[in-house]
Structure 1
Amino acid sequence: MNFDRIKEKLEILADAAKYDVSCSSSGGNRKNKGGLGNSHTAGICHSFTEDGRCISLLKILLTNHCIYDCLYCVSRKSNDIKRAAFTVEEVVDLTMNFYRRNYIEGLFLSSGIFKNADFTMERLVRIAKKLREEHNFNGYIHLKTIPGASDELIREAGLYADRLSINLEIPTESGLKLLAPEKSHQDMIKPMGFIKNALTVYQEERKIFRKVPKFAPAGQSTQMIVGATNETDLKIIHVAKHFYQNYNMKRVYYSGYVPVLEDKNLPSIHAQVPMQRENRLYQADWLMRFYGFDANEILDKNHPFLDLEVDPKLAWALRNREKFPININTAPKELLLRIPGVGVTSVNKILMARKFQKLNLEHLKKMGVATNRAKYFIEFESQNIFNRLIDEQNFRQIIVKGMKSKWQNPFSEQLSLF
């Protein structure tokens, strides 16, 4: 093995893979049956399991050669960059060697498309199959599904990978046609439908026959590029809602467009998408998935973009003051989840604790509630800040100022989205 050449390939193909953010491992639970690795053990790319534990993944492309010329992609065929490609054996050896050195706990493998979809997909499947069957590797494997690949190859991929994903890339068909005229959303959506149906079939069969193999046990995910075209945040979260509801998507990822190429159909090379916009989309996504919000509640025609100053739940509360204050000691769970600064874990603590005593602001602080936001929207028998301020024209500024006040503990708020 030429180690210098392998190192050069790794540098090129790991760098090219950094633009794909959809590498979460949440949901993987493949067991170790005497081999190497374990997909749900706590830990070159960091990802997180469903319960919040951090793991490391080798995140690479099989190749950055590509037959397509997508304007937003650094690997587009017309771009003058250094090209490289791994062999199947090289990826397998890298994965095993990195695992034995305790660098990684799994593999995230994507690829440019060379020759055609099946030619590329077949190699991705061979890598996963070799790791599982020849090396007894039980660590997490995430494979990118290549649009246009045969159903049989996708089915086989699902038998070896923990998660499958295919990127929608641009949120709308018109935007995709503008920047990648050789592609269509239908080519991307078709395998999503196949994976959804296969997941259902295998799950039902496993209820009857114990030895039916698992198919992509961590489900499927997708990714949208934000800001390469002019879609509003309202449109983007509606697209996400559609895929959650109709394709049983485990996760939708949002990747702010990184200007790397000059083109008249692309934003200026100096027009970086604000990181805060990407963060707000993830927060809105969580509101839909875990807080009972509908996409039409988060945004509407009068508010098509997410507020960059405040999180989406607080923005919704400020637009819907008539629904507050909420009594923390009597309100049902669905209303508690609507209070800014109160997360799912805190709601469960509140529901349990209030069985034994009347709760006040100090109790909520100890539960981890972001009281610098929540206090304006909750009602106690003896404390009601909301009613005093609801008619204030600068109500929003009062809350934002309170969030930034010096008495606030910055560390408790740093990781709190809601």
Structure 2
Amino acid sequence: MKHRNTTRLCLAISTALAANAAFAGPQTFSSARSFAMGGTGVAVAHPAEAAADNPAMMASNQNDWSDDFGLILPSINARVADEEKVVDQVDDIQTVIDQFEQQIRSGTAPETVQKTAADLRDRLVSFDQDKMRANLGLGLALSAPSQSFAVGAFTNGTLVMTVEGEVSTDDRTLLDNIVNASDATDAQNKIDAATDSNGNLNLTSKGKVLAAAVAEVGLSFARQFELQNGANLQVGVSPKYVQLKTFQYTETVSGFDDNNFDSDNNTTDKSGFNLDLGTAYTFGERQQWNLGVVAKNLIPMELDSAASRPDLDEKVRTLELNPTVTAGIAHTGDFHVLTAELDLTKNKAFGFEDDTQWLALGAELDAWRYAQLRFGVRQNLASNDNNDGIEEKTQYTAGFGLNLMGLRLDLAGLYSNADVGAALELGTSF
């Protein structure tokens, strides 16, 4: 059965996660609090969030309502960029293809078929090089923070999926010939040349799907050291087991079939051990300043994608999980948190998206630990106007948190000229 709802692709890949050119993997998992504060967290993470942001923060000075135990169960976030409505275009194109082929089989007048051919041609031209991107994240974590020896456990997964349309010159010429036929007889001849004996169109335009997923499970350990100048140094480490997964599916627009999304021919996977390392430096008269640095995925990993359709020019692509380094600074008061953060390394694009290197600002206003209002903004310093994917430039975020009797609910939203996103998190801390 032909594909009628491309959004099912996200669900298929997400289930499979249970995720020669070289590309980096999905961006690392983000808690809902971090999501609302522009993706920051290296210098301000709460203990349960520390595994995702900076393991050293488990040993930092925390509020008395969160310095004994923390739990995230679960945290979910998603972002979608689909300015050109690629999902809808795929459905509409296949509907018109079916209409065209049905007209051929039923002997519809050539003039009517010409109108359908014109509609199909225009839709294909509009579809050419249009792209969509979806990012999904899911995480669970628990922590027992302590300045002498903190320990935590975590598991999370991230997925990036991109789709692009590619229209062939042959298809446009074929449909132009039908549309521009001189008379009914000429139109019928052009229609016969464009279809097989069963009335099927011989189209070579295609839809291309590239996706990558990273899943990890691990432990976090941290300790605080008092320095002679009255400042404190926290050091944390997260040994973890990582699974990489790639998904590559290329098919003609008329033959796109959702039953092939998770076929063994289209997926590859690889697993191995890795390591995150974080530090934080707390200083100031009231220990109100904090500097944080985290290095993630210190052991490089890579995985080649499947290329099961060389007849459609499908090429092997390499998913690379390379070390990344992020630094942040934060000022914390009784009723506020202000933070700034910078990626010191660039994350190369996977599939039809943009390279990323974020400079982010985040703020949190706290009402006596019961409610929090959060804001953030981040700018992509690596955005390339000549990139062949969806650009990511400036993103704005906001959210709020509620903390009632130790139970937490965090909600967040994201908006840019290309993306919309949301995050939800449930947890507890005491």
TM-score > 0.5 by shorter chain: no
Q: TM-score normalized by structure 2?
A: 0.26
Larger RCO: 1 or 2 (CA < 8 Å, sep 6+):
2
**Structure whose residues are more often helix by fraction:** 1
In our comparison, the structure showing a higher alpha carbon Rg is 2
Give the TM-score taking structure 1 as reference length: 0.27
Higher strand share: 2
